[in-house]
Amino acid sequence: SSEVLEAIENVIQDVLKSLAQKKAPVLTLANRSDWRNIEFKDSVGLQMMPHCTTKQIRSDCPRSAPKFALMLKILSMIYKMVQSNTYATKRDIYYSDTLLFGSQSVVDNIINDISCMLKIPRRSLHILSTTKGFVAGNLSYTEEDGTKVNCTCGATVFTVPSNVQGIKNLISHAKFMLIVEKDATFQRLLDDDFCNKLSPCIMITGRGIPDLNTRLLVRKLWDSFKIPIFTLMDADPHGVEIMCVYKYGSVSMSFEAHHLTVPSIKWLGLLPSDLERLNIRKDILIPFTKQDQNKLASIQKRPYIACQPMWKKELEIMAASKLKAEIQVLTSLSSDYLSRVYLPNKLQFGGWL
């Protein structure tokens, strides 16, 4: 915490120095959204380069002055929280002055900018993100406040903890971990008792694009148990994008890649080639939209696809067919095909990439 306080004091000191010299203060931070500042490293995923282009938030420019003011406001809130050892969620910060901030996304963006500017992970700034992910299966742990959580009992679902760094005493006999893209598929597998049927496993869903806590938990479980991690996604560009976020990280959070990515994650399904192999009827597949085509084209150009020839092939199959499929298409074969046939066969015979 002294490191956080010192980093904030240095920023404020620079602001005061500029004012004393009758200069307009500026805040300088790495340009997070620029692919040119990102390098791909096999062992980490997408990470920010040490020497990258920066952008300035100026106090004397009408376009950036409001952002400059809001950054100082949130810096002062973080400073107080670190001093008093209290925590707040991003929502708490927004609701402390909705008129001032205008929208939740403004707050979220500024917090990521501050984290990047100070080079300090967000959780060390005493800001918790609200969690939307779920975890179930063969896992128990103790939360920071001493609450014991046992996910192992039956079809119980637990929300991913809001302070993943604080959990301890992690125990699991799981043989693998399954990341499921969607809540509906996750619930279906739970109802079918998938976590215990084949061999004990841990199931996690970020319910779409994963939030920070879900990604932190996947990474923590990987560090703790070093068990294989598989993903179960829709066979569409959006599903592939989500899987890449878990495996390689995202451009906007590349400055935190070391805590968030798990490059050993495997793509278990639904593979575009599975649709042909299983003779899924063409009439129940969904035609690509223009947006799907653009998203797929952009994924195919990314640096990590070049080192994944099998993935490249699957994306080419998808691009050629211009058709996408949700995991639910497997119910056209039989209502429990996913948990009874598809997943057991894949896991047993190594049907992942």
Res 212 pLDDT > 70:
yes
Range of the domain at 83: 2-128
The residue from 128, 145, 164 where one domain ends is 128
pLDDT in tens, 222-243: 999 999 999 999 999 999 999 9
Res 143 pLDDT > 70:
yes
Q: Known catalytic residue: 246? A: no
- Same domain, residue pair 123 and 156: no
- Supply angle C-alpha 327, 329, 335, rounded to 5: 100
- Same domain, residue pair 217 and 332: yes
Q: Tokens representing 298?
A: 């952009």
pLDDT band at 257 (very low <50, low <70, confident <90, very high): low
* Catalytic entry in 95, 248, 304, 337: 95
Give CA–CA dist 290/267, Å, rounded: 25
Other C-beta atoms within 10 Å of 344: how many?
15
The residue from 95, 111, 128 where one domain ends is 128
Q: Lowest-pLDDT range, 9-13, 73-77, 191-195, 316-320? A: 191-195
Q: Which residue has the tokens 């939740």?
A: 104
Res 178 pLDDT > 90:
yes
With contact defined as beta carbons under 8 Å apart, do 132 and 211 qualify? yes
User: Looking at residue 254, what is its pLDDT?
Assistant: 67
pLDDT band at 154 (very low <50, low <70, confident <90, very high): low
- Same domain, residue pair 61 and 146: no
Q: Tokens representing 301?
A: 């150009």
Average pLDDT score, the chain = 87
CATH code of the domain containing 45: 1.10.10.10
Highest mean pLDDT among 32-41, 53-62, 167-176: 167-176
What percent of the chain clears pLDDT 90, i.e. is strictly above it? 33
Q: Tokens representing 265?
A: 């994650």
pTM over 0.85: no
- Same domain, residue pair 163 and 192: yes
Res 331 pLDDT > 80:
yes
CATH code of the domain containing 321: 3.40.1360.10
pLDDT band at 273 (very low <50, low <70, confident <90, very high): very high
pLDDT in tens, 280-290: 888 888 999 99
Q: Average pLDDT in the 163-179 region?
A: 89
Q: Residue 165: which of 208, 215, 234 has the closest Cα?
A: 215
